[in-house]
Structure 1
């Protein structure tokens, strides 16, 4: 469940990381400072806060805001000097500005048509689809008593045959750290335990214990099966964010596919075109598997 296509997942994470907090709503964007005659607004400080060094991001809130404002003032000062020198007319600067403009437009479109467009109903429907496709694994709930020797284990089985309580014996005899819980292991699937233990536990009938000691790399076990069930799916609340990202990923891929179909993509470098086509083919194949 919830498999991610590599390229799309990387793109999705990158775009989400670039979102940052929204600008102040309802026109509430006060001036918080002035430098060289230019106003600095709260929305600019909010953006500067998203670009703080991770170490500075750990500071208390007011120190963090001060650090962001300090950096913002530095940017404003040197940006003015750069503008006075006419660096905005430099061809390399224009190319970089064009790229950054395209990237921010991409992010704005992504936020509007993916992040904000995905509904709770879509997330719930996708969750139910994924859950219905899962074949639940069998789980067992068991207690065990672990000892060092086979003789000790056989003696414990004799005590159980005589009617002694399993949990009490576990507390008295077991060397396992969970002895305080009466040897209770909770629910587990077969792959959670070593093979010898799982094979013995899952063969038991509910309420029965192993008639002979079970040897594993840890020692000798006496196992009591308390219950068997099919593993319940995780509740929606537990996996909601993963499912939402899955829906967002697929929505994003559909938007890109439609845009490529309408606009066309022409790559002139043969080697680069081959690598691009192979990557997109793998994406499409994985997408078809996920959809089924």
Structure 2
């Protein structure tokens, strides 16, 4: 059975296009009917719910909740369509999907049943983990995470430097000599440096020492503003470096790191949940005698 997510996405796009085309083609002949229904359309229903039936296919219901679920899974460009076109496209998709599903159910194979079960378990487990993560993120939890990481944080020193990196020590020594004799560092970087920073005159921006490899960081830490040092060897090559400035930086504000903290909280909550659930479950593995390579044997699943 094909991957259901990819299959449904493909059907969704095809059906969406077909639904929109049908809606556009029907505008002219349907004008009179629309006029006749305008009074009714002016009074939208107020009793709508996820269970509201919007269509049936051979007696099988298509509900408003199904339509909203499909809409939420569509690519962004389709979600931005005008409401009437989006509604028609989603409905057409579900009509096609339901009709095809009814046909497939008559010949469903073991492979199909297994694929559906795997998709179901994946969806339910994902929903549980999303619920767990969402529930863990509160203003109080974010504040506690911020305090734990930054409340006692002291100002840190950041460095602004530029460098020229070349393959050999001899090249680096030659460039350093040119700079000592008045050569322009940025121009020499553009001309000689072999990394992406060359286009910006070798400018590496602001950084903390722990973001750089040790030989480079150790050299920068002992330099004065405006000083040029080198050659310095790292695993990347030979560097000539110029310290452009330093500054002390306070701990970031909560608003600046909230997104990162929320991500950390969600990840921690999910990891704890998985560990707890698996730890409490009664798990019996019966894999003795099963060759791992059997997963490559497609005959296990049978034919489509």
Provide the TM-score with structure 1 as the length reference: 0.51
Report if aligned partners of 2:215, 2:232 keep a CA contact under 8 Å in 1: yes
> For structure 1, which runs of at least 5 residues remain unmatched after alignment?
1-25, 160-167, 273-292
Matched, 1:265 2:279: no
Other-structure match for 1:242: 263
Other-structure match for 1:169: 184
Structure 1 residue 157: deviation in Å? 2.3
Indicate the larger mover: 119-128 or 187-196: 187-196
Matched, 1:207 2:229: no
RMSD: 5.2
Deviations 1:115-147 (A, max 9, x none): 345423213323443557999986432244679
Instruction: Output the CA distance in 2 between the equivalents of 1:105 and 1:219.
Output: 53
Other-structure match for 1:15: none
Instruction: Output the CA distance in 2 between the equivalents of 1:150 and 1:68.
Output: 67
1:156 to 172, 179, 191: 179
Instruction: Output the CA distance in 2 between the equivalents of 1:149 and 1:114.
Output: 51
Report if aligned partners of 1:127, 1:243 keep a CA contact under 8 Å in 2: no
Report if aligned partners of 1:33, 1:41 keep a CA contact under 8 Å in 2: yes
1:169–1:266: structure 2 CA closer, same or farther, 3 Å change rule? closer
Report if aligned partners of 1:141, 1:187 keep a CA contact under 8 Å in 2: yes
Instruction: Output the CA distance in 1 between the equivalents of 2:119 and 2:172.
Output: 69
Report if aligned partners of 2:159, 2:208 keep a CA contact under 8 Å in 1: yes
What is the total number of aligned residue pairs between the two structures?
226
Other-structure match for 1:185: 204
Instruction: Output the CA distance in 2 between the equivalents of 1:173 and 1:91.
Output: 68
Structure 1 residue 251: deviation in Å? 5.4
Q: Secondary structure of the equivalent of 1:126?
A: helix
Structure 1 residue 106: deviation in Å? 6.0
Correspondences of 1:38-53 after superposition (within 5 Å): 38-49=60-71
Instruction: Output the CA distance in 2 between the equivalents of 1:129 and 1:200.
Output: 32
Report if aligned partners of 1:141, 1:227 keep a CA contact under 8 Å in 2: yes
Instruction: Output the CA distance in 1 between the equivalents of 2:288 and 2:156.
Output: 46
> For structure 2, which runs of at least 5 residues remain unmatched after alignment?
1-46, 290-304
Instruction: Output the CA distance in 2 between the equivalents of 1:132 and 1:267.
Output: 46
Other-structure match for 1:252: 273
Instruction: Output the CA distance in 2 between the equivalents of 1:78 and 1:145.
Output: 63
Instruction: Output the CA distance in 2 between the equivalents of 1:182 and 1:93.
Output: 59
Other-structure match for 2:13: none
Correspondences of 1:1-292 after superposition (within 5 Å): 27-29=48-50, 30-49=52-71, 57=75, 60-61=78-79, 68-77=90-99, 114-116=133-135, 118-130=137-149, 139-144=158-163, 148=171, 150-159=173-182, 169-174=184-189, 175=191, 176=193, 183-190=202-209, 192-193=211-212, 196-204=215-223, 206-207=224-225, 209-210=227-228, 213-216=230-233, 221-224=240-243, 226-227=245-246, 235-250=256-271, 252-253=273-274, 256=277, 260=280, 265=282, 267=284, 269=286, 271=288
1:199–1:78: structure 2 CA closer, same or farther, 3 Å change rule? closer
Instruction: Output the CA distance in 1 between the equivalents of 2:86 and 2:187.
Output: 56
